[in-house]
Chain A
Amino acid sequence: MTVLKEFLPKIWLLLAVFLVVSPAWAQGDAKSINPELLEKIRKSNAECFACHSEAGLKNPPLPGLDLAKLRETIRDDEVFKNSNHGKMECRQCHGQGYQAYPHAVGSKQLISPCEQCHAVQVMKAEMQFDNSVHAKNLKDKFTCSTCHDPHVALAAAKLGDPRKAAAQDNHMCLECHNSDLTFAKYAPADKKRPNIDKIHAWLPNTRLHWDAVRCVDCHTPVAKTLSHEIANKDKAERNCVTCHSTNTALATRLYRHVAKTEANTYGFANSALLNSIYVVGATRHPLLDWAMVGLVAATVAGVLGHGLVRIILAWRRNRSGR
């Protein structure tokens, strides 16, 4: 009961926010967007890209810009277009202070927080994050955009190719966990970065695994949608057969988005994997397996039968010979 009491206000809040915010969702929805609106968005964003892009850096539209600072803020138009937020105006998040240049001081604090549009997800992710390894010492330093660059990230469900999803999602983690410099920016003072390949030396073909599975596939509990509860080594998955067997967890994790669409290519089990990977133990063909097991069984039965007949006949020969 106490648990319910604790959660009830949160749930009401959630419902309220959801109702208020749902129009914001509709606005960015890829399917309902019309070409004129899209054109308007492109034009509006082009104003920002005039400066915040490679081209802008080479050919600044205004003299006297701080190019060194600008270099750190450039965004890629193409990447942005293909991201989760690609059909939005920059101004939807950078609403106040960025309309004109020079930008108003302190505008960074006014960038729309994720929960303005994603109340449900934020609440869910935050509750899970609070139990994750990063919550203990780094709670203040971690925000959603620490991992999800709102200008770049595309949800695994939309990426389609699981290898691309693996690359994107692992990049999030490796940005810190594969760089002493970035890691130190966040880590408690006395903490040294554990070498990511050494920690996982028990996993053969480590590099191969980094390309084909995600850190979160082993470091989060199984859930319907991805859980943000990143676990430390005690809870991390180290059982190979979780992935390397017919009942592979890959089908419910990294491959769950393609697993639905690709049913039964050439009769393989887990055929959704076939397009991008071969996984020993999981990529199996039932017919082929039956054929192979059958052949071996037939051979064994054949030699046993042959041997038995030899023994019987030899025994009879011996008896009649005597």
Chain B
Amino acid sequence: MSERIYLLPVWIRAWHWCNAVLILTLIVTGASLHFSDPNLPLLEFSRAASVHNVAGVALASLYGLFVVANIVSGNWWQYVPKPPGIGHRCMVQARYYAYGIFRGESHPYPPTREANFNALQALVYWFVMYILVPTVVATGLVFMNPEIAPERLFGLDGLLPVAVLHYLSGTIITLFVVAHIYLGTTGVTVTSLFKMMITGWHEH
């Protein structure tokens, strides 16, 4: 049958699933708060607010752990797209998703122990984990403690830009999550990548 390599240590898998649960919770409660409507509440407002706060603080702590663990283990290196030919490899990967995948071609850059991610993946993950998540976490923490926010900005309430940034970054993360879950079905079989995230073993 297919060959297997052991790719993901336990801490990464545990982190990944905690992250997943927290982010999904935050998306649902966050949407419920932002689009709150007395006539069709997704979740009761104060319930949503308290769950969102708890999950938000948990995500902030988890992010702290993630950064530390990444430095200690050297895992951060995986997120750095490596030259030469990053652009070309991204193009090849994009062509695969747009065309090759439909013809049953195999992945152009299957993961190895040295490089878990293909170039496109590394770029996107880097952007999400080092730009978007810090933004949403930082603005969220200010949102929880509005006294840190500037009193006024451009003649409007100082919390407004913080809130809007929180909303925008949160939404883009939602887009990522949708795409990420879907791309999880593009392994050798529909479930093999999900299995990998549980067992740590990758099937080629």
Contacts and interface: CB of A to CB of B under 8 A. Distances in A.
Contacts of B167: 288, 292
Given A204-B50, A292-B167, A278 B160 contact: yes
Interface residues of B, number: 36
Nearest to A317: B104
Interface string A238-256: 0111101111000000000
A211 B182 CA distance: 45
A314 B105 CA distance: 11
Interface in B3-42: 33-38, 41
- Quick one: which of A239, A278, A289 has the most chain B CB within 10 A? A278
B104 to A, nearest CB: 5
Interface in B91-119: 97, 101-104
Interface of A: 202, 204-205, 208, 239-242, 244-247, 265, 273-278, 280-281, 283-285, 288-289, 292, 295-296, 299-300, 303, 306-307, 309-310, 313-314, 317
Interface of B: 33-38, 41, 45-46, 49-50, 53, 97, 101-104, 146-147, 155-157, 159-160, 162-164, 167-168, 171, 174-175, 178-179, 182, 185
A285 B17 CA distance: 33
Contacts of B146: 205, 208
B36 A245 contact: yes
Nearest to B170: A292
A240 B46 contact: yes
Contacts of B178: 296, 299-300, 303
A242 B37 CA distance: 9
B175 A314 contact: no
B102 A313 contact: yes
Nearest to A245: B36
Contacts of B179: 299, 303
Given A245-B38, A281-B35, 12 more contacts: A202-B46, A208-B146, A241-B38, A244-B33, A277-B159, A278-B159, A281-B33, A292-B167, A296-B175, A303-B179, A313-B104, A314-B104
Contacts of A307: 182, 185
Nearest to A277: B157
Contacts of B164: 285, 288
A274 B152 CA distance: 10
A119 B24 CA distance: 59
Given A281-B34, A300-B178, A295 B171 contact: yes
A274 B185 CA distance: 44
Contacts of B175: 295-296, 299
Contacts of A314: 104
- 4 tightest Cβ-Cβ pairs between the two chains A and B: A281-B36, A303-B182, A240-B45, A278-B159
B163 A278 contact: yes
B88 to A, nearest CB: 23
Contacts of A274: 156-157, 160
A247 B38 contact: yes
A299 to B, nearest CB: 5
A122 to B, nearest CB: 36
A211 B171 CA distance: 30
A309 B182 CA distance: 13
Contact of A296 (B41, B159, B168, B174): B174
A63 B171 CA distance: 73
A241 B37 contact: yes
Nearest to A300: B178
**Considering residues B50, B167, B178, which has the most beta carbons from chain A within 10 angstroms of its beta carbon?**
B178
B45 A283 contact: no
A295 B53 CA distance: 25
A273 B159 CA distance: 12
Nearest to A278: B159
30 contacts: A202-B46, A204-B46, A204-B50, A208-B147, A239-B38, A239-B45, A240-B45, A241-B38, A245-B38, A247-B38, A265-B156, A273-B157, A274-B160, A275-B156, A276-B157, A278-B157, A278-B160, A278-B162, A278-B163, A280-B33, A280-B49, A281-B36, A289-B35, A292-B167, A296-B171, A299-B178, A306-B97, A306-B182, A313-B103, A317-B104
B62 to A, nearest CB: 22
Nearest to B155: A275
A275 B171 contact: no
Contacts of A244: 33, 36, 45
A281 B45 contact: yes
Contacts of A205: 146
Given A241-B41, A244-B45, A317-B104, A280 B36 contact: yes
